[in-house]
Structure 1
């Protein structure tokens, strides 16, 4: 993200939208765009590709909440949602949908910047966690495939585990491939032959 955050404000009421824009301008140097109509919201947000989406809803329903969170792509960018009132299950639904900040009791100018900062920080923290989780899952899957390939080599060639791994590693080096890729090819070929 650049130093100047681009913010899309989703607000149907013109007066409330103007208050939000004024509050943002008072809080810092933002590139602000207001979307007042929810029709085609996902497309409009995608076209703007903002750093942050700020949604202001007086009284959200579960359907409205789900529609807004899907449209604002909370896994792609931080989303801060301000609501006048809410129920516990709506708060939980918003957080599960990926909303970075869900603020009940409406939007107030004095807390807008800290909430946006918290939403951005929380978004980055969760994105890092998702990346680490995906990397860990991929490593675990690769480990499983390598173990299966070693087992196949041990059985077919009468090798011990270290020798089977050494053979996989040597083959990978000779072919300029990853050990996991060679293991995957071996497991796939063995599956075709059995």
Structure 2
């Protein structure tokens, strides 16, 4: 016999769509004001984060409160090298010798991180933008297209340079969004 658990009860209609829309819009306005303030110091940004070159002054406000940014690096560490192969697709080398790689849409577990590491991102950007790296997830759990069932099996994807949201200037390694004018 099937019974619905308590954690699956329907949500009450007490959510405020207008408040949610305002909060999201206000967060974007705050992000844009910080991007405007930082100017050419911005290396990469997403809807909720900014990676920038810091000279110690004019940095975005840091803190744990709403409207503040969080420094995700350890206090005694700093980035010494940064590379991006598109939005949500970047990596950096820390002064301590550690590396961080983030690729939207890829699960960089042990097997994936062996193929898509900082050196692979650097090689892709510096040497051959048209090539890619094949990444296989041996046991990917996903929904089957038919029947509404859950399937498990290998998933092969290609990691590659993707930047279709703007214009890339390869001569000076800069990118601007479509419609941007100085």
Instruction: Give the TM-score of the pair, scaled to structure 1.
Output: 0.20
| Structure with larger Rg | 1
Relative to total residues, which structure has the larger strand share, 1 or 2? 2
